[in-house]
Structure 1
Amino acid sequence: MPASTARRLFPMPLRRALPCILIATLLVSQPVPLRAQSSSPTPGPDSLPSAQPDAAQASPAKAAAAPQADAPPASTPDAPEAVEPDKPGVDMGLVRSVIATALEFLAPRTLESHTSRDFTLWGLGSLTALDPMLTLDTRGADIRLLSGQTSLLSQPAPPAGNAEDWAKLAVDFISTARAHSESVADASREDLVQAFFDELFNHLDPYSRYIGPSSATTDRQARVGGEADAGLSLTRKGRDIIISAVNANGPAWTATVDPGDKLLAVNNRLTAGQSVETVTGWLRGEEDSRVTLRLLSPGQRRGHTVVLHRAKVPPETVFAFASGPLVVLRVTSFSSDTAEEMSPYLDQATQDPNLKGLIIDLRGNRGGVLQQAVTAAALLLDRGVAAVTDGRDQQANHIWAVQGGDMTNGLPIAILVDGRTASAAEILAAALADHRRAVVIGSSTLGKGLVQTVAQLPDEGELFVTWSRVIAPLHWPLQGLGVMPQLCTSLGETEMTRQMHDLAAGTLDNQPAVEASRLARFPLPVSRILAIRKACPAALGSDRDLDVARAVLENPKWYKTAIAAIPGEAASSASASAATAAH
């Protein structure tokens, strides 16, 4: 639903304070000082990552460049020294700094324990990928680089956990490969670093990854907003520039600016005849700088002036519209402001005395910021555990408990999901379902229950590293399993009709699968995951989902039957979830 429609239906009220999130760590320890600190644990999937992963948003911290080692390890007497090729344009010192910083960041955080040796040798597999004639021999005490049968370089293997020495070895081997291989020599610094991490992460989970500088900048802007502007979308009609949408996160939202207004001037520069791109550029500027707009509303003869302060505007992720006695909130992703976007819509919607229910549409939502999913759950729960994250690094272990009060006072809720619903979206759906606060409708979700932490590297690229698993309030693992809906719409029209008939009779057909999913515990064999998910195969959403949601919310007995399919009560104390999640 376009932002403009949502705005007409729900004028923005004053924003109320968001509920409190209580975070209890499973284990308490002093953080180890690292050059690369955790920047933002994000459960966004690969398409985001923002997520990505895929992101609980911690304070951003830029990883410093790793210092150079005092002295290189000695080469074996009969082996050639590392050779730096006479090729311009590749800063191997920066490559070394990036690798060293990454190795130190990875070692304590990956879900399974690995050493700097493991990571480096995996990454150096990129040389073979670039040139199949190049191979590594790691069988002896020395690490050797070969071209066919010819030894190009041999160096003693450093201690397995020494990130600095392994980073130096990696750069020595890459430099030597560049001197002897045209395909490696032709690769840019960005290509060499990307190839190194691509090969490294092939040995880990599907969501850990490296993103190069340009893509990382785009991803950061998607999570927290890019260049400061007014939060307006524009279109052109004839010679006129028209406001097509107003971003709810931007400075124009609370001003007298509406979709359909004609934008006459920006800082006294007339817009008539200008392109949308030109006027959009006029709206951008330094954060908190003033921009003066001259506007003419439809049906008015006299224009009016609005003065705004530019701000970095996160993308709008929540759109609302009315559907009879119901309100639909379409949440497209979880950015840094998603819960704050939801709050005023909920506040406004619940003022309608005829409101019968709320539909939260998470279909196609690939996730994003973990903390935003938890905060969104807190808007609809009185108290309780929304999720538990459990990893090898003690800083990854959290019990995400919420308290603050249900904004809707128990209003019936239906959540729409499909096979693309992932990560933070699954966390919200699982939290509300496990607390018997919502009926989930659709198909099995993606099953992305791994959380990534993000580090910014010296080249301005980013590492997304999986460091924890998500455990739902009823102690079952999200990874692989996904959220099993109470009402399955992916089995076809005939099966859906039968389900609704049985629901009217007080029976939920999918209850065995719902119970099986809630009784699952980590680690879960793939065969068991597939057997559970088979009851409601993942599929794309359809109009049928909305029809079922309307029917359930408008019939209290059906809603009660579907809610009762969740076995038992969700964990109400942090200690209960902690005991189950620990392993």
Structure 2
Amino acid sequence: MRFGFSGHLRLTPLAGLLLFLLAACASGAGQQNGNGYDEVAARYMFATGYQDINAVYIQDIPIETLAFSGLQKLHEVDPTISVTRKPERFLLNQEGETISRYELPKGNRIDLWGKVTAQIVDDSRKASPKIAEAGREQLYEKVFEGMIEPLDGYSRYATPEEARENRANRDGFGGIGVRIQLIDKGVEIVNVMDDSPAERAGLDDWDVIVGIDGVPAPELSQEEVVSRLRGPLGTHVTLGIERPGRVEGTWRSLEVKVERAHIVPQTVEYERLDNVAYFRISGFNHDTAETLKAKLEQAKDEMGNRLEGYILDLRSNPGGLLDQAVFVSDLFLGEGRIVSTHGRHPDSHQYFEARDDAHFPEAPVLVLINGSSASAAEIVAAALQDSGRGIVVGSNSYGKGTVQTVLRLPNEGELTLTWATFHAPAGYSLDRRGVLPNVCTSRQDGDLQETLSQLSGGRLISSPHLRQRDIDRENELALAEFRSICPTSDSLNETDIEVAMKLLQDPGLLSHARRGAPSTAQRMAEDRTAE
């Protein structure tokens, strides 16, 4: 069981349910009715979903509500079939006529709710040729999509195929370490990861793969290319390569054999900007913190005492694993709270503190965010901002302040369920509210000179009181007013980077941004002086 951010959740399963399920599966009592559908396996599948939601989800949702919502989705497979609810029973209807009635289990008997759900699906298959023709996974997908509709927008079901891709992005996969895009000639290598099998085999950015194990690459879809490049660790793939020649417009051909290794998608890119270390962090997977730490060390070695500061670009970073957000924050913090989480389940109340061993405590940290910076990215921004260690530049962030846990289902699909909200070190919840930057750039429409002029006059700087104010998440007016202070923008323009560079080069302005905007009286005095 895995958190959509991180951690380990220990649940006590219903012993009777597990015994029933294990016995049923072991006995082979299930009957497959075509297209891989097995009623006993379906009972197990649906009961597991009900148990997970009942145990983990941040709100207590009646299982009857989940079951009814899921079964209503059968109507999308065959519009003549519908499920309606009466007191203490569900009705299965065809063409508006009731064809079966089902007494509902009392309370939260997970095993019985799994059984009645599977029975209704099975009876609908007998009554409807369209539903009978639907494959097992299609029916699972429909019911689970309906099952999670009463939940929040971050909870979701992933099919086995989608779940495999999700796990690959989180945990890594057997591959060669390249980013690709399809072109007419074949498959262009956009980027070769550092220290990857592709790099060790001599592949370069902008090489074009024209064949994979003898199969012409132009004949393959992107999914087929990815499938052929990935494989078990230690196996090999042979690539036909076309490489740009020294004379423009010419190509040279070569064949490269690459041994697959464990690949975790690269989420950190480093660039030196004068004497500033700039890091673009696109997400938080299992390697993010270690990769960032290595690149921070690289920057430190390159610039030594000339290093003026760090820029962490978290713009349009959708988030990822909670533990990685904590580890990234901890690289810069020597003490204090990083984040806390709180939900319905007892294990959801967790507190994450910085260790007394900050690796990079010396130089200032500038954090860039925008309206698409979410979840783990917001944790890092808020932790560095509230501690005073970092200064945040950009626009108000997305406001995705909830933690999800990912649970694997019997069919190898996944349920992602919201199980807690997270809170910044100052105590406020980030959910729907987001992070308010120290320096707001979203009101300047990307005009660099105007932005720098406003910044020098202290006009773009917010106060700590505003930044750390807790907002009632149910008060739409208060939320709208808060988020209007620095309106969200999805911009990735250079203005934010230039503002960060300006702050790093001007210690007085940097200190001003850290302390916050001057008081109203002070600003009035400045205005009179200017006149």
What TM-score do you get using the length of structure 1 for normalisation?
0.73
AA in 1 matched with 2:389: R
C-alpha RMSD of matched pairs (Å):
4.3
- How many angstroms does 1:320 deviate by? 0.6
1:57, 1:369 within 8 Å by CA — same for their partners in 2? no
2:455, 2:461 within 8 Å by CA — same for their partners in 1? no
2:201, 2:257 within 8 Å by CA — same for their partners in 1? no
Q: Is 1:41 equivalent to 2:14 in the alignment?
A: no
Do the aligned partners of residues 133 and 492 (structure 1) sit closer, same or farther apart at CA in structure 2, a change above 3 Å counting?
A: same
1:347, 1:407 within 8 Å by CA — same for their partners in 2? no
2:39, 2:119 within 8 Å by CA — same for their partners in 1? no
AA in 2 matched with 1:207: Y
Separation in 2 of the partners of 1:484 and 1:223?
A: 28
2:499 is matched with which residue: 545, 548, 553?
Answer: 548
Do the aligned partners of residues 262 and 538 (structure 1) sit closer, same or farther apart at CA in structure 2, a change above 3 Å counting?
A: closer
Q: Is 1:435 equivalent to 2:382 in the alignment?
A: no
AA in 2 matched with 1:213: P
AA in 2 matched with 1:402: A
- How many angstroms does 1:380 deviate by? 1.0
How many residue pairs are counted as aligned between the two chains? Answer: 493
Do the aligned partners of residues 177 and 249 (structure 1) sit closer, same or farther apart at CA in structure 2, a change above 3 Å counting?
A: farther
AA in 2 matched with 1:555: D
SS in 2 for 1:376: helix
1:417, 1:441 within 8 Å by CA — same for their partners in 2? yes
Separation in 1 of the partners of 2:225 and 2:480?
A: 53
SS in 2 for 1:414: strand
2:349 is matched with which residue: 397, 400, 409?
Answer: 397
Separation in 1 of the partners of 2:407 and 2:503?
A: 44
1:66, 1:97 within 8 Å by CA — same for their partners in 2? no
- 1:132-188: CA deviation from partner (whole Å, max 9, x where unpaired): 444434332332223355221112211220111001111111122222234433432
SS in 2 for 1:519: coil
SS in 2 for 1:108: helix
Separation in 1 of the partners of 2:465 and 2:219?
A: 54
- How many angstroms does 1:311 deviate by? 2.6
Q: Is 1:203 equivalent to 2:203 in the alignment?
A: no
Which residue of 2 is the match for residue 7 of structure 1?
none
1:469 is matched with which residue: 411, 421, 439?
Answer: 421
Q: Is 1:100 equivalent to 2:50 in the alignment?
A: no
Aligned ranges for residues 412-491 of structure 1 at < 5 Å? 412-491=364-443
Which residue of 2 is the match for residue 162 of structure 1?
109
Aligned ranges for residues 140-289 of structure 1 at < 5 Å? 140-226=87-173, 228-231=174-177, 245-248=191-194, 250=196, 259=204, 286-287=232-233
Separation in 1 of the partners of 2:201 and 2:22?
A: 62
Separation in 2 of the partners of 1:494 and 1:235?
A: 30
Q: Is 1:320 equivalent to 2:267 in the alignment?
A: no
- How many angstroms does 1:526 deviate by? 2.4
Higher relative contact order (CA 8 A, sep 6+): 1
1:179, 1:185 within 8 Å by CA — same for their partners in 2? yes
Separation in 1 of the partners of 2:442 and 2:62?
A: 44
Do the aligned partners of residues 554 and 510 (structure 1) sit closer, same or farther apart at CA in structure 2, a change above 3 Å counting?
A: closer
What are the ranges of 5 or more consecutive residues in structure 2 without an aligned counterpart? 25-30, 247-255, 519-531
Separation in 2 of the partners of 1:235 and 1:125?
A: 40
Separation in 2 of the partners of 1:181 and 1:535?
A: 55
Do the aligned partners of residues 131 and 279 (structure 1) sit closer, same or farther apart at CA in structure 2, a change above 3 Å counting?
A: closer
Separation in 2 of the partners of 1:123 and 1:234?
A: 38
2:6, 2:321 within 8 Å by CA — same for their partners in 1? yes
Q: Give me the identity figure in percent.
A: 28
AA in 1 matched with 2:373: T
- How many angstroms does 1:116 deviate by? 2.4
What TM-score do you get using the length of structure 2 for normalisation?
0.80
Which residue of 1 is the match for residue 27 of structure 2?
none
Q: Is 1:356 equivalent to 2:317 in the alignment?
A: no
SS in 1 for 2:437: coil
What are the ranges of 5 or more consecutive residues in structure 1 without an aligned counterpart? 1-38, 43-54, 73-83, 264-268, 300-305, 568-583
2:72 is matched with which residue: 125, 132, 135?
Answer: 125
- How many angstroms does 1:369 deviate by? 1.1
- How many angstroms does 1:109 deviate by? 0.9
- How many angstroms does 1:250 deviate by? 3.8
- How many angstroms does 1:85 deviate by? 11
Please identify which structure carries the higher helix content.
2
Do the aligned partners of residues 249 and 387 (structure 1) sit closer, same or farther apart at CA in structure 2, a change above 3 Å counting?
A: farther
Separation in 2 of the partners of 1:224 and 1:232?
A: 16
Which residue of 1 is the match for residue 522 of structure 2?
none
Q: Is 1:535 equivalent to 2:480 in the alignment?
A: no
Deviates more, 1:135-144 or 1:99-108: 135-144
1:503, 1:561 within 8 Å by CA — same for their partners in 2? no
